[in-house]
Structure 1
């Protein structure tokens, strides 16, 4: 499994937490803030696993697009008119990968990996 695949799976797995919070009756704002914070934590974690110079390329693109190395803040999203539901949806959807050639992808960790030291916090 590639590092990118692991990241995408971890982001999509956030949907389970959203479903649980909805079952618990939490308001959309509370859910959005929680899942957004976890998504930013995942971004930091997986960027830290990405070797240089690719990590720098990803961080530079993220800053260029969102003005923040960790991705869009809640304030950024709300200022652009995003609803709490839209923030929840986008936090559980992986963004596009930064364009890398096949060789760069292999060197960056986007290629095959055997193990990723990551915990979802479930256990």
Structure 2
């Protein structure tokens, strides 16, 4: 399994966490804040594991788009008009693959 596929799976696995939190009756805001924080943690971890020169390209793209190498903050997403549900959905969807010749723009 490649580093990228491990990252994508870890992000998709957050969907189970969302389902569990919904069953527990947590609010959409609480769920969004929790999975967003975990998604950012995963992003930081996997970026550190990414070899150069790809890591630098990923950081540059993320900084250009979100103003932070770690990805969008909750404040950034809310300022963009994202609902708590939209934040939940995006936190459980892998972002674009950047810098390895397989660029995607689906985020």
Coarse TM-score class (shorter-chain normalised): over 0.9
- Coordinate RMSD, CA, aligned: 1.0
- TM-score, length-scaled by structure 1: 0.80
Mapped to 1, the partners of 2:59 and 2:99 lie a distance apart of 13
- How much does 1:53 deviate? 1.8
Structure with larger RCO (C-alpha < 8 A, sep 6+): 1
Unpaired runs of 5+ residues, structure 2, are 103-107
Residues 30-109 of structure 1 aligned to structure 2 (within 5 Å): 30-101=30-101
Q: 1:54, CA displacement in angstroms?
A: 1.3
Q: Name the stretch that deviates more: 14-23 or 48-57.
A: 48-57
Q: TM-score, normalised by structure 2?
A: 0.92
For 1:101 and 1:21, locate their aligned partners in 2 and report how far apart those are by CA, in whole Å. Answer: 37
| Paired residues, number | 102
* Greater gyration radius: 1
